[in-house]
Structure 1
């Protein structure tokens, strides 16, 4: 991941957007499962009051009650989110890193500096992308979180009802834990990914290895998500505040006043394990998303640079 002069930043923006779009389209069903598990207050196990008792049971239930299209609920705002987030994040990462290297030209030879720099720039890039794209994330969660009959007939209808609910602030519910999670997660991702890629290149005898971005991205996603699952779960709970009538078919509901209150109530009423509801699906999704994102990004950069040089 090296920013080129001239068209480098625009290439990063385009490649990041394409990477986000394709990754979202492929892994949307996993995302739907993850969100459904995180929003359920009851345990994810075979007890009578739980709607979803496990991965395969959840898949069968969704297929029977909502058909296969349910696995792509909220896909338009999700795609918008992914394209914008991927484009902004990768372009911001490349540009901030390029500025930092320009300010300290002698330090990039230091592997410790490079790792710290990539972590820091990754966090900054994710923070900026999150602030810009967050309303689409809330909208996506609401659309995925509703069952049948639908509360929101369309995206436009959802936006109108959500705005009527409590104004523009509705689209920023759960922003604090999301910023915390995304900044830390992206920092870990970029730091681990770029470090592993450097090690891979130093150990590999082949100059061209398209497997490296996928494997290194997969490991970066695995480590990052494992540590930050609680923030992701709390974010989802906060995003559906004011949406509890539509959540009744899925089980018990709960109102939270903010991030700290949500952490407290979840721990008190559901226990520590609740922060890791759907952990297997969440980690699998994060691992695949990160692997695909970095691999697709690197491949798109190659395609764009080859097209430019043609």
Structure 2
């Protein structure tokens, strides 16, 4: 959290726990608020050229998705925060962007253990393949094996590791620059605005990777694509390069608003937890 970390000695367990709580809260709020936009984005990316989009059931799979989003977001921030703080201590100040990029990628990789099965189930439900999350898990495992829950894992990492690294790096660097100019800590609306900008830019940049991930995750047993390269070649040949930007409008809208909410909730929760922690420390010293 910018310069606040230097005010207190580094405590790995405390930073981890605060990150877990803040990340879980932020992830759940964003997912619940913006799920319909995500569903529209998924359906736009999943349909072949000329097919009709289904507009009903925009909240399909929300409950099951929240079950996965909570631990994934908690784990991401729980890993990101201590990794970032440790790297900022080790690296020279002019390489802070490297610390943010690296911490974002490390946090994203750890969170992928929860994110990928959650994403597979969510997108299969969003495209109408299943009616409930437990039913989706049972049938996917039965028909495709346990590895079916990790369908498109490579494409997910190809999209999410750069996404997490770039988004958090842009966000953190903008906050550093803003604080230097303003000569003060940022307020909640400012954090939210920077989060929205970082999310929207990163969402636009990574849309082609998101299209590949969606196609690989929703194909199920059809096996239309054998991998990332096969998927990219088939889309390019059959639908043209414009298909790689399919769903960019709802994606940028969703991640832009999502970035605003996520980083706003994240920073507010971190500030509240830090304040409680400092009060507890002072209380312990007085005893």
Q: Give the structure-1-normalised TM-score.
A: 0.82
SS of alignment partner, residue 131 of structure 1: helix
Assess, with a 3 A threshold, how the Cα gap between structure 1 residues 242 and 88 changes in structure 2: closer, same or farther: same
Matches within 5 A, 1:249-268: 255-268=224-237
Are residues 1:300 and 2:265 paired? no
CA distance in 2, matches of 1:194, 1:98: 12
Please state how far the C-alpha of 1:307 moved relative to its aligned partner. Answer: 3.1
Where do 5+ consecutive residues of structure 2 fail to align? 281-287
CA RMSD in angstroms, aligned pairs only = 1.9
SS of alignment partner, residue 72 of structure 1: coil
Are residues 1:92 and 2:79 paired? yes
Please state how far the C-alpha of 1:204 moved relative to its aligned partner. Answer: 1.4
Residue of structure 2 in register with 1:279 after alignment: 248
CA distance in 2, matches of 1:91, 1:153: 32
CA distance in 2, matches of 1:166, 1:207: 51
Residue of structure 2 in register with 1:83 after alignment: 70
CA distance in 1, matches of 2:90, 2:59: 45
CA distance in 1, matches of 2:219, 2:83: 35
Please state how far the C-alpha of 1:208 moved relative to its aligned partner. Answer: 4.8
Are residues 1:170 and 2:148 paired? yes
Residue of structure 2 in register with 1:117 after alignment: 99
Residue of structure 2 in register with 1:128 after alignment: 110
Question: Is this contact kept in 1: 2:235–2:243, CA < 8 A?
Answer: yes
Where do 5+ consecutive residues of structure 1 fail to align? 43-48, 53-60, 245-253
Question: Is this contact kept in 1: 2:117–2:150, CA < 8 A?
Answer: yes
Question: Is this contact kept in 2: 1:27–1:285, CA < 8 A?
Answer: yes
Residue of structure 2 in register with 1:51 after alignment: 52
CA distance in 2, matches of 1:215, 1:301: 17
CA distance in 1, matches of 2:32, 2:131: 21
SS of alignment partner, residue 257 of structure 2: helix
Please state how far the C-alpha of 1:153 moved relative to its aligned partner. Answer: 4.0
Question: Is this contact kept in 1: 2:123–2:218, CA < 8 A?
Answer: yes
Please state how far the C-alpha of 1:231 moved relative to its aligned partner. Answer: 1.0
Please state how far the C-alpha of 1:243 moved relative to its aligned partner. Answer: 5.8
> Among 12, 36, 48, which residue is 1:41 paired with?
48
Q: Give the structure-2-normalised TM-score.
A: 0.89
Please state how far the C-alpha of 1:125 moved relative to its aligned partner. Answer: 1.0
Please state how far the C-alpha of 1:187 moved relative to its aligned partner. Answer: 0.8
**1:127-150 deviation digits (Å, cap 9, x = unpaired):** 22113331111011111110xxxx
**1:38-63 deviation digits (Å, cap 9, x = unpaired):** 10112xxxxxx4313xxxxxxxx62x
Matches within 5 A, 1:1-310: 1=1, 2-3=4-5, 5-6=10-11, 7-42=14-49, 49-52=50-53, 62=55, 66=56, 70-104=57-91, 107-108=92-93, 110=94, 113-146=95-128, 151-242=129-220, 255-308=224-277, 309=279
Assess, with a 3 A threshold, how the Cα gap between structure 1 residues 281 and 292 changes in structure 2: closer, same or farther: same
CA distance in 2, matches of 1:242, 1:86: 26
Question: Is this contact kept in 2: 1:20–1:293, CA < 8 A?
Answer: yes
